[in-house]
Chains A and B, each alone.
Chain A
Amino acid sequence: ACGGGDKEETNGNNDNKNGDTAELEGSVVIDGSGTVYPFMAKMAENYMTNEQEGVSVEVSRAGTSAGFKKFLAQDGTDFNDASRQIKDEEKAEAEKLKIDVQEMKVALDGLTFVINKDNDWAKELTQQEIIDIFLAEKGKKKWSDVRPDFPAEEIKTYGPNENHGTYEFMFENILEEKALPEAINLQQDYSTLVDLVSKDKNAIAFFGYGYYESNKDKLAAVKVDFGKGPVEPTLDTIAEDGEYAPFTRPVFTYLNVNHAKEKPEVLDYAIYTMENAQDVAKETGFAPLSDEDKQASLEALNGLK
């Protein structure tokens, strides 16, 4: 189930905890980020096929913010995947409901701007140009408004809707809370976004790197010039301190600690997730988190036992 350099260490931990033979039962309910969904779905599948067949792990993808609403509720979900950090209001709500929340950083994602394969002009844009396209106040309605030598065709902007952490990351961190264009087409499902962009020559959309990576045949990613020349988002460039750093963000899953204490399978799954995060990240289009981050999370989790 696990691999890489952490092999001995993890195995040791496992033995200590439940022993390899301990059969767990029950269910783990996960909702939240659509960005993290492929990572978590893969993780869940691995867990159920290789680790604990008796445990049912159920993964949905309502979006980070929508997920938090289900997470921060009586009998809420066990985990909430998030493509942004938990907000203060959400923390306050958790406190009110007496839900202890454990943040688990699981991987790194690069906010990727994708265009149609047939778009041969916007393959490289500067950081500012991209931001301007998505700012209502700049009024970039046509591609030619961005650069005069671009075609005089309408820019079609797309993105995930407000249920999503990606939207909020864009809105809060990149656009500094300034309004997006009125005409932007916001969608609930990433699959819809991929589909739309792949069929619209004038489209530009933003979402997590993973969705770009698994659809490279349909989409192109904009190389972003952060001042030192165009950088293509790749697993390397979005890694910690990579060249794509300004658009890189950590992605998380949040654990309901109360549940973890009541249900051994929840805690077991949390530990499994951290132990295998780096591998699954690479398979699903994320940059792996650092060993320190991983150890920190694992320690916290082991402390819950």
Chain B
Amino acid sequence: MAATSENERKTLNIKSKREGSGTVGAPKNIVYNTKDLNLWYGEGHALKNINLEIYENEVTAIIGPSGCGKSTYIKTLNRMVEMVPTVRISGEILYRNRNILDKNFKVEDLRTRVGMVFQKPNPFPKSIYENIAYGPKIHGIRSKKVLDEIVEKSLRGAAIWDEVKDRLNQNAYGLSGGQQQRLCIARCLAIEPDVILMDEPTSALDPISTLKVEELVQELKNDFSIIIVTHNMQQAARISDKTAFFLNGEVVEYEDTDIIFSNPSDKRTEDYITGRFG
């Protein structure tokens, strides 16, 4: 939570999607503005001319068939994609009006403000406590008292506090998959990010855990902007405010989720959401 000017609007935003989020009159702040983004893995053109504006305190879903570039796009938003050595990028991604693709932009800074949750839960092989404290610690917070508070707050925020509060010093790998994933979300929350990126966060989870994570996402959007990749169209429909449909590295359609699922303007979108391919 970085910007200060938005506190007043927060209360407004506490409303379920069913009430029609995204169509409300108040203009939203743009968190991410992607302009003419192109990305290649070696010779493979994975993202083609992406233009997307992503808004504050919304859940933005990215859908599309396998290999269409969803993960690539979301990983570009925190520049994690650069871990692949052959990657080349052109275009601009403005995060809070600064171009993160700029050479001078420090990725560590970016990633401190933009949390990420991965497809497969990836807790560190440390205790639950240490998992959460990891982020604050690397950013220089040493005080045991402060850390304790952060840990509790983050675990509560990720709705897992009650399940783990008595075993904070046990290894995180003792948790179930769903718990691990919520732990990873809590880990994200611990550094109080501005945006949370989620790449198919529930695809490795059972239905009950999935439901819990979905509820959590709904809650989190009060405080964070969330971008979520999902294969599951029902999920996108259930939890997101806006949806972008990717195909072959292009954005076919980007609209309010209600509209995408009820009245898509592109034939391919319709084919996809009705299960005709993908």
A touching B, CB within 8 angstroms: no
The chain A residues found within 8 Å of chain B, CB to CB, are: none
